[in-house]
Structure 1
Amino acid sequence: MRILVVEDDRKTADYIVKGFAESGHVTDVIPDGRDALFQATREAYDVMVVDRMLPGLDGLSLMKALRAARVKIPAIFLTSVGGVDDRVEGLEAGGDDYLVKPFAFTELLARVNALSRRPPAQEQVTVLRVADLELDIVKRQVRRGGETIELQPREFTLLEVLMRGEGRVLTRTMLLERVWDFHFDPKTSVVETHISRLRAKIDKPFDVPLLHTVRNTGYSLHAPR
């Protein structure tokens, strides 16, 4: 599951990200409501966790703007504002659930899982495709040119992130955050090593390369141009 956490308190965000990572989920964290609006309208997420008190654009305004833009990502408010009227206000703004701080992570995880199981308001993409490369998110399968490709869990996550960002250049820092949940540079070649392994599996056996290195910038996965 890919989750967007909109939270400006770093300790709270780190705690949430750690818990989701241990449960096998990929998490992006954005501390600013306006930046989160931009991100959520351009990237695919399974669930959003949103604080109400945010810089740039508060949580209520963020949800109203997303729903007005017909972005239907399930969202749970996670906030210290917990009166009955506040909860009603959050739900009427477009939130699907409401949890008050302080909170137990196990409850947050259970609520997020419940939101992800709800029937989608519109058909959600479960198979990503770039040229003849296919990644089935539900079945956890990868195929290219009709041939099955076996990937390790971290390689699968790396490929999913690259395919979701098709055509965009993803920097080493972005990959460290989205795939390994590192919000610092570990001073290792973990990204380069996994890129090399992934390229050996999805590119080298085939005629046309899809995974490209952008010198001094990062990596991009796209069909031939």
Structure 2
Amino acid sequence: MRVLIAEDHRVLARTVAKGLRRASIAVDVAATGDEAERMCQLTDYDVLVLDRDLPVMTGDEVCRRVRRLPRPPRVMMLTAAGDLAERVYGLEELGADDYLAKPFDFPELLARIHVLHRRAPTPPPSVLRCGRIEMDRNRHEVLVDGRPVDLTPKEFAVLRLLLASGGEPVSRRELVRTVWDEHLDPETSAVRATVSRLRTKLGGPGTITAATGRGYRLMS
């Protein structure tokens, strides 16, 4: 899952981004409304966490504009104004998918983001399989030959993407875009190191292969 946080309160944005990354979610951050709109035009985000009170372009206008994109993200509006009239306006007039008043507890924000992601037009199955490997996305569990395997959040996210690809190679750039965020250099060794550790935990060299010029894929 990839999330964009559009929030001009830098401490809040940084805190939320840190928490989401710990939950294996790729996160980008925008500090102004026009920046948020531009980033949504360039990247297919799954969820946009959108503050209504943004500089340059208001969150209300950002919501209206991203709704016209070919693949709009699910939008969660954030605001300090949490009365009923404001919530109804945000949901009905602006087209937001959810509405959360500040201050909020991070576990609730995370749960709402997961709910919005599950509302996608074609949600992925909860259990993914390839040969000896089975992943339960909801329980965050991985089995190899029926035995549980302990994975780090990044390893789990990489494996989830490889399983979802149906045996097709996943490029290094796509792994960076989905599992990390826009600030990671696609040529960094982080992807290679994560794949190497994951390969070892899954059973050795034959589990994940590197397709020259095309990325990585799982072997069934």
TM-score bracket, normalised by the shorter chain, equals 0.5 to 0.7
Aligned to 1:109: 107
Alpha-carbon distance between aligned partners in 2 of 1:210 and 1:54, rounded to the nearest angstrom:
46
Shift of 1:177: 3.6
Aligned to 2:6: 7
Aligned to 2:25: 26
Q: In structure 2, which of residues 60, 64, 68 is the aligned counterpart of residue 61 of structure 1?
A: 64
Aligned to 1:125: 124
Give the AA of the match of 1:110. Answer: E
Structure 1 pair 60–71 and aligned structure 2 pair: CA distance change class (3 A): closer
Are 1:222 and 2:211 matched, yes or no? Answer: no
TM-score normalized by structure 1? 0.60
Identity %: 23
Give the AA of the match of 1:34. Answer: R
Q: Deviations over 1:3-24 (max 9, x none)?
A: 51331534432121123345x3
The alignment covers a number of residue pairs equal to 201
Structure 1 window deviating more from structure 2 (86-95 vs 158-167): it is 158-167
The answer on whether the counterparts of 1:3 and 1:26 sit within 8 Å (CA) in structure 2 is: yes
Q: Deviations over 1:85-133 (max 9, x none)?
A: 6544321222133235xx3341x53154246458847562134758646
Structure 2: tracts of 5 or more residues without a match: 31-35
The answer on whether the counterparts of 1:50 and 1:77 sit within 8 Å (CA) in structure 2 is: yes
Structure 1: tracts of 5 or more residues without a match: none
Are 1:136 and 2:136 matched, yes or no? Answer: yes
Q: In structure 1, which of residues 36, 50, 62 is the aligned counterpart of residue 40 of structure 2?
A: 36
Aligned to 1:95: 96
Give the AA of the match of 2:123. Answer: Q
Structure 1 pair 120–192 and aligned structure 2 pair: CA distance change class (3 A): closer
Alpha-carbon distance between aligned partners in 1 of 2:55 and 2:40, rounded to the nearest angstrom:
10
Alpha-carbon distance between aligned partners in 1 of 2:129 and 2:176, rounded to the nearest angstrom:
23
Alpha-carbon distance between aligned partners in 1 of 2:164 and 2:215, rounded to the nearest angstrom:
11
TM-score normalized by structure 2? 0.61
The answer on whether the counterparts of 2:76 and 2:97 sit within 8 Å (CA) in structure 1 is: yes
